[in-house]
């Protein structure tokens, strides 16, 4: 393979993931709030709620308003998740509970960096390849990357809420390319979603590489000659 000028990477599911599962984290935090919960039920409910939600992107919204819109987006998913799990009514102050959950996911505590993430990033850096993130995440990603000691590796971070479009929409990819002054054919994008990462990247001419992590296994990092 010829060496790219830039390698973009997805964040969650590619560089790092949730310790255990979202349901397990929700169960632990619910128990701390005095509410009994089933991790399995919460996990199933969360993924149904997440799949049914609109894309987390806010075109024509000012930068000042974006963090609040992000918060409301996740609050709606959390409410629906706990309603589907049948325990929403057990919270005396669900929004107060959720505020703690939201802040918790901005720390390093719920996340695990995959074993091969650092070695891959370091190897690409030694080859003078610029690195960037393209993610359907919210602005907490800056705090998370800092807490996980990953932020230093990336020259750009492009997220759906700030770009005004979520993967696989072309705009988020072209926005990232502009930050590097890079042509599509000079870039790769690595991610764990065939639809969002591979097909989204290829639609704008970026080489898309599917990273399959069936059980949080290691990155099969593409070798560059």
| Domains of the chain and any CATH numbers | 6-17+110-210 (3.40.50.1000), 21-104 (1.10.150.720)
Reported as a single tens digit per residue, the pLDDT across 48-104 is: 999 999 999 999 899 999 999 999 999 999 999 999 999 999 999 999 999 999 999
Quote the mean pLDDT of the chain. Answer: 93
Q: Which pair of structure tokens corresponds to residue 52?
A: 């049914």
This prediction has a pTM of: 0.91
Give the closest residue to 8 by CA, choosing from 220, 198, 143.
198
pLDDT over threshold 50, residue 16: yes
8 A C-beta contact, residue 56 and residue 139: no
Antiparallel, parallel or unpaired: β 111-113 and 16-18: antiparallel
pLDDT digits (tens, 9 = 90+) for 163-215: 999 999 999 999 999 999 999 999 999 999 999 999 999 999 999 999 988 65
pLDDT exceeding 90 applies to what percent of the chain? Answer: 92
Which structure tokens are listed for 122?
Answer: 């370091």
Q: What are the angstrom distances between the C-alpha of 7 and each of 46, 83, 84, 163, 199?
A: 31, 40, 39, 18, 16
* The token pair that represents 210 in the structure block: 């599917």
Q: What is the pLDDT of residue 222?
A: 40
Q: What is the pLDDT of residue 216?
A: 41
- Quick one: pLDDT at residue 214? 65
């Amino acid at each position: 393979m010829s060496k790219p000028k830039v390698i973009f990477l997805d964040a969650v599911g590619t560089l790092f993931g949730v310790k255990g599962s979202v349901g397990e984290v929700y169960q632990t935090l619910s128990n701390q709030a005095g509410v009994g919960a089933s991790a399995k039920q919460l996990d199933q409910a969360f993924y149904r709620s997440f799949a049914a939600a609109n894309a987390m992107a806010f075109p024509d919204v000012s930068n000042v308003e974006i963090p609040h819109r992000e918060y409301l987006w996740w609050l709606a998913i959390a409410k629906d998740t706990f309603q589907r799990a049948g325990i929403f009514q057990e919270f005396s102050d669900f929004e107060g509970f959720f505020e703690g959950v939201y802040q918790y996911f901005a720390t390093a505590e719920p996340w695990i960096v995959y074993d091969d993430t650092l070695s891959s990033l370091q190897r690409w850096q030694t080859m003078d390849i610029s690195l960037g993130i393209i993610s359907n995440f919210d602005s907490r990603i800056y705090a998370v990357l800092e807490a996980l000691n990953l932020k230093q590796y990336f020259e750009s971070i492009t997220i759906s809420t700030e770009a005004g479009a979520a993967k696989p929409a072309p705009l988020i990819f072209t926005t990232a390319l502009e930050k590097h002054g890079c042509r599509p054919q000079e870039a790769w994008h690595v991610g764990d979603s065939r639809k969002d990462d591979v097909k989204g990247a290829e639609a704008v001419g970026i080489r898309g590489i599917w990273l399959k992590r069936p059980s949080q296994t290691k990155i099969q990092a593409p070798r560059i000659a």
